[in-house]
Amino acid sequence: MTSEDSPALPRLLTAGPDLLAAALVVLPALNDPRPAVLVVGAALLVCVVAGFLKRRRSLLAAVGVLWVTLLAFTPGAVWFAFPFYFLLLRDLPRRTAVAAVAATGLVAVAGFGWHQHVLTVGTVLGPLLGAAVAVATVVVHRESQRRAELTEELAAAERAAGVLAERERLAREVHDTLAQGLSSIHLLLSAALRGDTERHVRAARAAAADALAEARRFVKDQNPPALDGGSLPSALHLACASTAATADLAVHCRVTGDEVALPTTHQVALLRIAQSALGNVVSHAGATEVRLTLSYQDTDVTLDIVDNGRGITGAGAGGTDPDPAPGQDRGYGIAAMRARARALAGDLVVESDGRGTAIAVTLPVPVA
């Protein structure tokens, strides 16, 4: 990773090494003002400044050659190795940089020996420990930077997942409420055009009022109106009565078992699944009768919707997604119902044999 890949590197890895390198080029010239030292030091200073401005890796080679040349003239140049470590680690690929840092440390040790004609523990360990510290500093920084990037990516993925989940939830709500209400109004107005206008118009008006109430609840993120102050069985009876009133269809609603207090999430899911299934029967099944049964059991609650319509082409037992008949919604209603059930650790099964369709959804009863 180079500085161009990450413009937000801390100051230690940007301007700091360049400024320190420039200072340590000037220092030997002040202590040893021989012409050769001044010329080589000036050339080295120009390369350091150019490297800071251009950030070209080719300049590092020139800096290295000029530094070794300056080190041959004056021992004060040995201190240039420490900022040079960071320049190499900043501007070269990791493996190449580590090898270059190791070579620089050995050259610095050799420079000490060349000028002092003896090597001590300090002159050997000093440059090598400096190289190790530089490598460790950069490795730790890059690791922390990588973790920060991963954290940002994870946060972005979570936000995207949240947006998709909310979009799916909105789609289910619109499909199960507003879309079903508008479909009922359309059927009623179509029937009104064929005769018995007043009765169907009144029914369409009632369906529009229900759809408006659902829309307002939807905007305010409240419970369905049918569940406000009522129970799930009464809400299902109301949904069946509304369906029977808006369609030429016999709708039977039955509740078995001892009623169990379910969480609001479970009641809303079962009511929405019932409304969606009844809407599909009215719009697509061509049925004359539909039976809805809510069964309370010890550990779960089951909702069955069975009609005697034309069935769903390609639907099979075991909960496989059906292949809707031509002209039908391509199974989104079934998919939305199954998503509601699975969100509550439940399951939904669709069975159809051409003589009708049976939908069964089972939700576990949460332990009090």
- pLDDT number for residue 328: 40
Considering the domain architecture, whether residues 166 and 115 belong to the same structural domain is answered as no
Q: Are residues 86 and 168 in the same domain?
A: no
Residues 283 and 168 in one domain: yes
Task: Clarify whether residues 172 and 108 are in a common domain.
Answer: no
Residue labelled with tokens 């507003």:
178
* 186/291 same-domain check: yes
pLDDT in tens, 212-255: 766 666 665 555 655 665 688 998 998 898 888 777 789 999 99
pLDDT at 315: 46
Give CA separation, 192 vs 179, 251, 330, in Å. 20, 21, 29
Please tell me whether residues 109 and 185 are part of one structural domain: no
Compute the average pLDDT of residues 326-355: 76
Q: Which domain holds residue 285?
A: 160-364
The SS3 assignment for 349 reads: strand
Let me know if residue 131 belongs to a domain.
Answer: no
* DSSP structural state of residue 55: -
Q: Are 173 and 306 in the same domain?
A: yes
The pLDDT, as a whole number, for residue 33 is 79
Please tell me whether residues 115 and 30 are part of one structural domain.
Answer: yes
Domain limit, last residue, from 98, 119, 140 = 119
**Structural domain total, the chain:** 2
Q: Answer yes or no: is pLDDT of 4 > 60.
A: no
Q: Is the pTM of this model over 0.85?
A: no
For 133-168, write each residue's pLDDT tens digit: 888 888 888 888 888 888 888 887 777 777 777 677
* Cα–Cα distance for residue pair 309/23, rounded to 1 Å: 89
Domain match, 99 and 166 both: no
H-helix segments, the chain: 15-31, 35-54, 57-73, 81-91, 94-116, 121-174, 180-194, 197-220, 232-246, 264-280, 332-343
Q: Are residues 115 and 173 located together in one domain of the fold?
A: no
Under a CB-based contact definition with an 8 Å cutoff, are residues 268 and 224 in contact?
yes
Q: Answer with the one of 55, 90, 119 that is the final residue of a domain.
A: 119
Find the mean pLDDT for residues 102-118: 83
* Contact indicator for 224, 213 with CB cutoff of 8 Å: no
Q: Does residue 327 register a pLDDT over 70?
A: no
Domain ends where: 68, 103, 119? 119
* Domain CATH for 261: 3.30.565.10
Please indicate, yes or no, whether residues 314 and 184 belong to a single structural domain of this protein: yes
**Residue 81: is its pLDDT beyond 60?**
yes
